[in-house]
Structure formats: structure tokens, C-alpha cells
A and B are shown apart, each in its own frame.
Chain A
Amino acid sequence: MPALAIPPWSPMPPPEVLAGFEIWDSYLTQSRGAALMPSLEALMPVVERFALQKLCFFADVGLGTGNAAVEKWAREHSNEIEAPLRRWPDLMLGMIQLNAGDVPASMRALDRWLRDGTMKGVYFPGSAPGGLNCTHPNFDPLVARIHELGGAIMVHTWFKTGEEAGPHGSTPADLVALAARHPRQTFICAHAGGNWELGIQAVRGSPNIVVETSGFDATAGFIEMAARELGAERILFGSHLPSRSLGTELGKVLFADIGEEEKKLILGGNFRRLLGMGR
């Protein structure tokens, strides 16, 4: 499909300018299972227009992190789990979703997909069926093994008004407790806790925690507070595509009142450094 002309009213810079930010997306939430590849195909026009250089997806690998259909697909099509990495080798990065409730199976998955495979790290989901509060001791052997393998760790976190995180979810405060037990490992606090004023304050005393930016409305002032309290070096851009939009997620960073160099760190530099792929 031919590229559309950029509308004159669009505040988004043209692709050649965006390319200068070297944007690496740390959080993609595409449809899973059999729907994975078509949903990624559908994203390509926005990926091209907004000059995303890398997308990081979180594969269900049959550990009980998805619904029944996703689990069945993952078990029956394990050779397809890395298909996005083969199809778009210059674009896609992958992490696997672990189920900390099943440590032996998770350990085997780490060997298969990180030690012997191409996955870059681990995503711990934040809800049933495969989520587990990250203060649980089951996390300790998993974190130690991921650290040995040089993997990244992202934990879904939310402080939801009026709700407790519960046994299947985690808050940024929970992640602080886990990070204190593993000071040599860097942890990515997905969604900055959603309630970002609280999330930022919770993690700011934990230098081995960085926050990820996606998953909530484009509330003004978020990035400014995160940069002020954490430093731009501790913020990672995430798109939350396709359930969120790049207007919302990229807009948070591009139109924040911070410096251009700080934006470059947030949009890609920090993630590259964390993955050991930086310059």
C-alpha cells in the first residue's frame, strides 16, 4: 500500500526526523496465539510512518499465561512462537511470558527460549491465570537464573484506585521489594504503576528499577515528573500497540517538556543499553 501523505495538521514529525530518535518499543501487546502474525501485519503502516525501529513482543510459551485457546496454540505450535523474529528479523525483539507459579516449567522455558533461543528477556504478567504477586519467593530462583542468562525482566504493575493488586498482580511497591533482593538485576516496572504519581514515588529510591511508559491515557505531566524524579535514564518507551495508539504513547514522550537528548534516551537509548545492544 502506498504511504499516505502526512496531513498538514499533524504535529508528528516526518519519518526522517523520527528516525533520528531511534525508537525502540519495549512493550507491544498484540493479539496472541493464532492471531499474532495477522495483528503484527496490520501494524506495519503505523510502524513505518512513525519510524519504530524495534518492537518487543511478549510470547506466551504454553506456561499458563494465556487463555485456553492461546495455551493450546502455544503448546501445539511451539515452532511458531519465534515466527515474528524470523519474519521481521530487523524489527522484532521478543521476551517470553513466565508463570512464576510454576517454577520448574519456567526454568525449562528459560533454557529453551533464552539460553538456547533468541528471546531477550522475561515478562511477568499481572493477572490470572499466570500472574503472581512478585514478592512471592518463587520469583527468587527465576530472577537469579534470568540474571545468569543476561535477560531483561519486566513486571506488570498497577496501583489501581480502590483495588488491591491481589495474589495475581503486583504494584510498584511490590517490585521494590523484589528488586531489593536482587540488586544486580535491573527490573522494568511496566506502566510505571499506571497511577504514575504513586508509581514514580514508589520506585525512585530503587536504582535498579526503570519505568515503562505505556498503558494509560496521555496524561500531561507524566514524563516531566518521571524525568525529574528518576532521571531520563530510568524511563523506557512502550507503545502498548495495538490496544493503545501511538498518538497516546509516543505523544507522551515527544511532546513532554524535556530535552531532546532525554527524549532520545527514553525512546530507545535506555532500552538498547538495558538489552546490551546499545552503542
Chain B
Amino acid sequence: MSHLLPRRSVLRLMLACPALAADLRASSSAAADAGESGLVDVNASLFHWPFRRLPDDEPGLLAARLRKLGFHQAWAGSYEALLHRDPDTVNSRLADACTRHGGGLFRPVGCVNPALPGWEETLRRCAEKHAMHAIRLHPNYHGYTLEDPAFERLLALAAQAGLLIQLAASMEDTRTQHPLAHVPDVDLRPLPELLSGHPQARLMLLNHRPAAAVTAPLAALPNVWFDTARTEATDGVARLVALAGRERVVFGSHAPFLIPEAALIRVEEAMLAGLPEADAAALLGANAARLAAR
């Protein structure tokens, strides 16, 4: 049906008629299952941001907004992961919410904190109990650096388990953070050497603001991907693709903390700056789909 009507007409119909919306969501899900291309957001989160309420911080609201934008898949972490110290309950709530909301939109991404005792069991549960395809790390909020031996062990274990690692380089501009939770961006400089030693590990950077001195050595590695959530400037996404290659840039919104439409429009701006349509299509869905399928 969505192929017969202009997308905006479909969206207006969905807003006017919830029952139709449910049918269309099912149709969209079926299309996704059939392997048709669709938009994938690799960087969403559920629940409440610790420092303010957000307009779409209820899973149903976020799902509706992302569906309205045409996403058929959103990889969702949990904001609870930032400060909670029992990640297993965080991950269970996340997995449950991803099942109950969004009609198959959300794929849960569990958190693992290698600074906590027993983190290996948390990682095992992500892979085996929840059948997650990825885990998300927050080194700056969890108080360890990438030079910590536990991080290297996590690289190895995640690779063995077939888990993609999402490493959030930041969650918020350091200038606007709460003064009692003022955390610097993750120092990524140890990563190239570490990843060179773990070629089976697959690592995706979230919320990284590209800077040549840090980004270029990472882009030279075959097992690093970059999301677009905090890639700024009118030609920022185009420059990132030029640096990293078309297969290693993926769409991330950082919703609901950031406005998801903003990130989508930045891809359109990249096309105005010369990004080929095929490259835009790859970063909007195909690259993530390929990663999730492994």
C-alpha cells in the first residue's frame, strides 16, 4: 500500500486512523522481513534521560515518531544504563519494552559495564538469554578507559559471542551537562591499536564528533563503523563517508535526546554537498542491515 500512495499521504492517513496505522505497521514489518530496504536507526534509546524529561521518552511515543519518519528498525539502548549499577535488570526491562512497543521496530541493545563485577555474565545474557545482536558501552559514564584490561577482554568475548559493540563516545555536549555528572568524551586514541589486535571484533562508534586526528586512524581499520548522530556542518556527513568509506557509515539519531528529523535532514544536506544517492541509501539502512545479519 505504501507503494501506491505518496509517503506523506500515508502518514496523514496513519495519524487519522490508528487501526489503519497498525495495519500499515504490520505491512511495513512484513516488508522488512522480506528483506526490502528500509531506514534503520542504529542509535535510539528507551526510557527517561536522567536529567530532564524528553518529549518522546516513552517507548510508544518514540516508536510512533520513528515509524512516521519511515524507519522499520531502530536499535535501542536504555538511558537507565548510564547510571544504574544492575545492568541485568536494565537489559531485561529493555528487552521487554522492545517486545511490547513498536510492533517489531525496536531491536534491544543491552549494556555491559566491564567496570562492574560479574560483567561477563551480563554479556553472556545479552547474547544467549536476550539474543541481542549488539551491546552498548558507556566508558565515560561507567568510569573506565579504553586502556583498562577489562575493555580488551570485552572486545575478545564480544567477538566470540558474535556481538557487535556500540561504543558511545559521548551522550551529551560536555558544555551542557549537569554539573554533578560532568563527563568528558571517551578518549578513543587507544582504539586503533586495540582493534588491530582483535580483527574479529566489530565496533561501532556512536555520537562521535569526527575530528581528523582521531577519526582518520579509526577509519583506516576495517572493523570500525561510525554513526551520524553528532556529525555536524552542512557537509559533515559527506565528509565522514569520504573518510570512512560508504559501507562504514550508518544512520544514528540519538533519539529521543536529539530530534530524529535533524539527523535525517543532515543526510539530505550531505547529498546537496555531493554524497551520491547510493551512498545515502547505504548509510540509511543497508549497512546496518548487513551488520545486524551477521
Asked if A11 contacts B265 (CB within 8 A), the reply is yes
A216–B175 CA distance with the chains assembled, in angstroms: 9
Name the distance in Å between B281's Cβ and chain A's nearest Cβ: 9
Is A195 interfacial (CB-CB < 8 Å)?
Answer: yes
Residue of B nearest to A225 (CB): B52
Residues of B within 8 A of A278 (CB): none
Asked if B262 contacts A251 (CB within 8 A), the reply is yes
A250–B70 CA distance with the chains assembled, in angstroms: 20
Name the distance in Å between B18's Cβ and chain A's nearest Cβ: 19
Is A161 interfacial (CB-CB < 8 Å)?
Answer: yes
> Which listed residue, A220, A242, A246, A257, touches B258 by the CB 8 Å rule?
A220
Is B182 interfacial (CB-CB < 8 Å)?
Answer: yes
Total number of A residues with any Cβ neighbor in B under 8 Å: 42
Asked if B234 contacts A245 (CB within 8 A), the reply is yes
A112–B245 CA distance with the chains assembled, in angstroms: 50
A160–B254 CA distance with the chains assembled, in angstroms: 22
Asked if A7 contacts B7 (CB within 8 A), the reply is no
Given contacts A46-B234, A247-B262, A254-B261, contact A220 B256 (CB under 8 A): yes
Asked if B269 contacts A9 (CB within 8 A), the reply is no
Residue of A nearest to B7 (CB): A8
Query: How does the 8 Å CB contact mask read for B233-276 relative to A, with 1 for contact and 0 for none?
Result: 11110000000000000000001111101111111110111000
Asked if B230 contacts A217 (CB within 8 A), the reply is yes
Residues of B within 8 A of A221 (CB): 52-55
Is B163 interfacial (CB-CB < 8 Å)?
Answer: no
Asked if B175 contacts A195 (CB within 8 A), the reply is yes
Name the distance in Å between A11's Cβ and chain B's nearest Cβ: 4
Residues of B within 8 A of A196 (CB): 176
Residues of B within 8 A of A217 (CB): 172-173, 230, 258
A250–B269 CA distance with the chains assembled, in angstroms: 12
Is A45 interfacial (CB-CB < 8 Å)?
Answer: yes
Asked if A162 contacts B176 (CB within 8 A), the reply is no
A162–B268 CA distance with the chains assembled, in angstroms: 35
> Which listed residue, A8, A12, A224, touches B265 by the CB 8 Å rule?
A12
Is A127 interfacial (CB-CB < 8 Å)?
Answer: no
Name the distance in Å between B258's Cβ and chain A's nearest Cβ: 5
Is B137 interfacial (CB-CB < 8 Å)?
Answer: no
Interface centre among B176, B235, B280 (most CB of A within 10 A): B176
Asked if B259 contacts A257 (CB within 8 A), the reply is no
Is A63 interfacial (CB-CB < 8 Å)?
Answer: no
Total number of B residues with any Cβ neighbor in A under 8 Å: 44
Asked if A220 contacts B261 (CB within 8 A), the reply is no
Q: Which of A1-49 contact B (CB under 8 A)?
A: 4, 6-12, 43, 45-46, 49
Name the distance in Å between B44's Cβ and chain A's nearest Cβ: 12
Residues of B within 8 A of A257 (CB): 55
Is B227 interfacial (CB-CB < 8 Å)?
Answer: no
Is A255 interfacial (CB-CB < 8 Å)?
Answer: yes
> Which listed residue, B52, B177, B233, B262, touches A243 by the CB 8 Å rule?
B233
Residues of A within 8 A of B271 (CB): 4, 7
Given contacts A43-B234, A242-B234, A245-B266, contact A161 B177 (CB under 8 A): yes
Is B85 interfacial (CB-CB < 8 Å)?
Answer: no
Interface centre among A8, A163, A218, A246 (most CB of B within 10 A): A218
Is A234 interfacial (CB-CB < 8 Å)?
Answer: no
Query: How does the 8 Å CB contact mask read for B153-164 relative to A, with 1 for contact and 0 for none?
Result: 000000000000
Is A121 interfacial (CB-CB < 8 Å)?
Answer: no
A3–B261 CA distance with the chains assembled, in angstroms: 21
Asked if A162 contacts B179 (CB within 8 A), the reply is yes
Q: Which of A175-233 contact B (CB under 8 A)?
A: 194-197, 216-221, 224
Is B279 interfacial (CB-CB < 8 Å)?
Answer: no
Q: Which of A32-75 contact B (CB under 8 A)?
A: 43, 45-46, 49
Asked if B234 contacts A162 (CB within 8 A), the reply is no
Residues of A in contact with B (beta carbons under 8 Å apart): 4, 6-12, 43, 45-46, 49, 158, 160-163, 194-197, 216-221, 224, 241-248, 250-252, 254-255, 257
7 further interface pairs, Cβ-Cβ under 8 Å (given A160-B175, A220-B257): A4-B272, A161-B174, A195-B175, A217-B173, A245-B265, A245-B269, A247-B268
Instruction: Please name 27 pairs of A and B residues whose Cβ atoms are closer than 8 Å in the assembled complex, sorted by A.
Output: A4-B271, A6-B268, A7-B267, A9-B69, A9-B70, A12-B265, A12-B268, A43-B234, A49-B272, A161-B174, A161-B182, A163-B175, A195-B175, A219-B259, A220-B54, A241-B234, A242-B235, A243-B233, A244-B232, A245-B262, A246-B234, A247-B262, A247-B263, A250-B265, A251-B259, A251-B262, A257-B55
The 8 lowest CB-CB distance pairs between A and B, nearest first, are A247-B265, A251-B262, A218-B262, A247-B266, A11-B261, A218-B259, A247-B262, A255-B261
